Structure 1
């Protein structure tokens, strides 16, 4: 597995701090978006870090990044609007590195909602994996049409959206999404990061297979 290399890319509000792992040979690529910037979310979040490492071990080239105003990323928090643009910049940059590879977008909590909204406007996304979709926090009633395979990894005891709420949303999505439930886990997945990472890899692999 490749070591993570720290770098900066140009984003819509200034430079974005990133961590890149380049697989050789690479099978696919993934950009990973962290939880809410105002609640401690960074590219070093354990769930995002473990998911990144699991994908890299499986031969994926990965890019984690800090949203605007986090770490050494420039700009200020934009309540999820500009952050979707940050994700778009990261995905576009990664395509230039992982040329011709299918690209998945993975997000956790705040980052999961950003990932879904980004995929709705980016035809280059091959699959989306949302970890801990914060249904109640954002009043999510419908999933934007992405036209791409969507999977959600949700704790059975998630305070911001239980499995039944998520399942109902995914059933109405276009195309319908799939749900993986982590038994006994809350929104933060304490002590379960490795288990979540394995579920993310499986979901991403299935998503790419479905999208072919």
Structure 2
């Protein structure tokens, strides 16, 4: 399947680099947000790479991009604040394809937290891989009726399944799925992450 290089335009005037795969007969489309830029995160990080390969193989279009200040993307890091505009730019790009598909926000670690903080009427739900939930008070998904899936590694170093369950206990429509045997970096468990993301999209959002 061909990978298309794309440019995203943010509301504050930046151009971000991204890549897009749209399979024939796609039934949904996902924006994938990567881990923390100051710790080496980019759109080719392991979990994002696995999702970018695995989702299109399951009939889900996938868009990955570099946050502001990463790679060839313009701008500078803003600790997750302006990065929300980057995620919205991903939605803009998918909407601009004119495919009339359910749109989903997905991310890993920092990208998961950033995506969960984005409220936009156009998307159908969220899936968050190993979200640290560092800014739970700013999470749009907490009070939103659209479905949210948190994929929490069993041995996550930054947010255990038990702690995540406490944080989201009052959230409106959120489910936690534990990834057995995995830590925050999900080495050797990315196939399971892809499977769970596909199941969520197929069951709740397509």
When the two structures are superposed, what TM-score results if normalisation uses the length of structure 2?
Answer: 0.92
Mapped to 2, the partners of 1:183 and 1:23 lie a distance apart of: 30
CA distance in 1 between partners of 2:166 and 2:203 (Å): 21
CA deviations on 1:67-114 (whole Å, 9 max, x unpaired) are: 000010000001101100110111111111153110011010001111
- Mapped partners of 1:29, 1:139: distance in 2: 26
2:130 maps to: 132
SS at match of 2:183: coil
Q: Is the CA contact 1:28–1:61 (under 8 Å) kept in the aligned structure 2?
A: yes
Partners of 2:157 and 2:138 in 1: CA distance: 19
What is the RMSD computed on CA atoms of the aligned residues?
Answer: 1.6
Contact 1:13 1:74 in 2 (8 A): no
8 A Cα contact 2:113 2:135, kept in partner: no
- How far 1:145 moved relative to its partner? 1.9
The DSSP-based 3-state class of the residue aligned with 1:64 is strand
Match of 2:164 among 166, 176, 190: 166
Unaligned runs of 5+ in 2: none
Kindly indicate whether the alpha-carbon contact (under 8 Å) linking 1:16 and 1:72 is maintained by their aligned counterparts in 2: yes
Aligned counterparts of 1:142 and 1:115: Cα–Cα separation in 2 = 11
Q: Secondary structure at the match of 1:200?
A: helix
Contact 2:3 2:20 survives alignment (8 Å): yes
For 2:148, the equivalent position in structure 1 comes to 150
- Once the two structures are superposed, what CA deviation does each residue of 1:106-132 show, in whole Å capped at 9, x if it has no partner? 0100011111111xx211110100000
Distance 1:105 1:14, change over 3 A: same
Q: Which runs of structure 2 are paired with 1:36-75 in the superposition (5 Å)?
A: 36-75=36-75
Identify which of 178, 183, 187 aligns with 2:180.
183
Give 1:205 shift.
Answer: 2.2
Query: Contact 2:69/2:75 (CA < 8 Å) preserved in 1?
Result: yes
SS of the counterpart of 1:71?
A: coil
Alignment-derived partner of residue 206 in structure 1: 203
Give the C-alpha shift of residue 168 in structure 1: 2.4
In the comparison of the two structures, how many residue pairs are matched?
A: 203
Task: Answer whether contact 2:28 2:201 (CA < 8 A) is retained.
Answer: no
- Bigger mean CA offset, 50-59 vs 4-13: 4-13
**Distance of 1:48 and 1:205 partners within structure 2:** 19
Q: Deviations over 1:128-151 (max 9, x none)?
A: 00000103xx25368432321000
Q: Which residue of 2 aligns with 1:35?
A: 35
Counterpart in 1 of 2:8?
Answer: 9
Q: Normalising by structure 1, report the TM-score.
A: 0.90
